[in-house]
């Protein structure tokens, strides 16, 4: 399920064009939308960011 959502976000293809190996595009879309609305994606991002920060993998100075 998550792989299908990540595939869609990474490639930018329309939901209907997500390969069937990831499951029904309708299910993927509904899950993505529900998680967006209830804050699940924001919590996942915050946890990943905290882990990366703890590991020293983030550059908070924004050097370009």
In terms of phi and psi (left: phi > 0; alpha: psi -120 to 50; beta: otherwise), the region of 59 is: beta
- Report pTM: 0.77
Angle of helix 2-11 relative to helix 25-38, nearest 10 degrees, comes to: 90
- Domain ranges in the chain are 1-11+23-37
Residue-level pLDDT, tens digit, the chain, 64 residues? 999 999 999 999 999 999 999 999 999 999 999 999 999 999 999 999 999 999 988 887 776 5
Q: 52-61: list long-range contacts, CB under 8 Å, 24+ apart.
A: none
Please report the DSSP string for 10-46 in residue order. HH---GGGS-GGG--HHHHHHHHHHHHHHTHHHHHHH
């Amino acid at each position: 399920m998550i792989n299908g959502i990540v595939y869609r976000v990474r490639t930018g293809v329309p939901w209907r064009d997500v390969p069937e190996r990831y499951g029904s595009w309708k299910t993927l879309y509904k899950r993505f939308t529900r998680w967006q609305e209830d804050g699940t994606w924001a919590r996942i991002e915050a946890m990943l960011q905290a882990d990366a920060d703890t590991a020293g993998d983030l550059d908070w100075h924004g050097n370009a």
